[in-house]
Amino acid sequence: MNIQKIVQRVVEEVQKNLNSPNANSDQRTEEIIDFPEKRINGVVEPHNAASIERAQSITPARIGIGRTGTRMLTTSYLQFLIDHAAAQDAVSRGVSDDFLREIGLHKLETNARDMQSYLMDLDSGRKLSDESVKFLDENGDKRKDVQIIVCDGLSSSAVEANVGNLLPALIQGLKLKNISVAKPFFIKRGRVWVQDQVAAIVDCDLVISLIGERPGLNTDESLSAYMIYRPTEKTVEADRTVISNIHKDGLTPLEAGAYLSELIEQMLLAKCTGVSFAQQRNLNM
């Protein structure tokens, strides 16, 4: 449906409501309007339309959206609002319990009891709650090569869009390499550093966190994988390895599962991650 038809239907609906005898009542008519997902070239009579199409094909940036006077086109503005709403929803909505049951992940929690404390108090998302520490200590798989954890982070949409395919691919890849894998679990409102506490409790060699990235206006479904080998109290960010931009238009979930299993195998042999691992790889190349 093009933008002219959308505007026409909205105007007709407004006029109908104004003329209705119940116009002042609380009754509302809800209707879903399909919005075109295909990107358009909004530039009027471009000098080189092919170059705009090529640029649009290699980046999700808002290129060639056109303008009317000093403002963007209505279609572009509506798409901006849609993307902005999706980004906000990814942060606040939360991963559904139905999804976690479907993929078989037990839910643990951090000390961040709500989204406000998670966003305002960084440390609250870096430590498990007392109840979760007790559960993990009593039920976690101990002394395995790899512990996988899934965190919503700043995008529940990223978890639900990618983990269903990524997790089985990653586990299968590790097991084919004879790498022992502890039973994975989900941590609600977890940050990257919570993996250090998890590693200490289950006594694994390497822990990998699959965590939702901060959503932007290009995508709200991007996932990152943070890996750390035997973290200690002296661990710093440079000791971690991260693979980001995991989503359908970036590194796809299935590709990410295969690649991460290869990378983890190399890390376990090198007994390190982060900058130290990168330096070893460069020396061996």
Residues facing 210 on adjacent strands: 150, 225
Residue 24: C-alpha distances to residues 9, 20, 109 (Å): 21, 9, 46
- Helix boundaries (H) for the chain: 3-19, 49-58, 74-92, 97-103, 115-120, 130-139, 156-176, 194-202, 253-270, 274-284
The Cα–Cα gap between 195 and 143 comes to 15
DSSP-derived secondary structure for 33-58: -----S-----SS-S-HHHHHHHHHH
Tokens (6 digits) for 79: 């798409």
**Residue 61, SS3 per DSSP:** coil
Q: Is 53 known as a binding-site position?
A: no
The response to whether 138 counts as a known ligand-binding position is: no
What CA–CA distance (Å, rounded) separates 270 from 191?
A: 26
Residues making up the binding site for adenosylcob(III)alamin: 192, 213
Annotated binding site: 192, 213
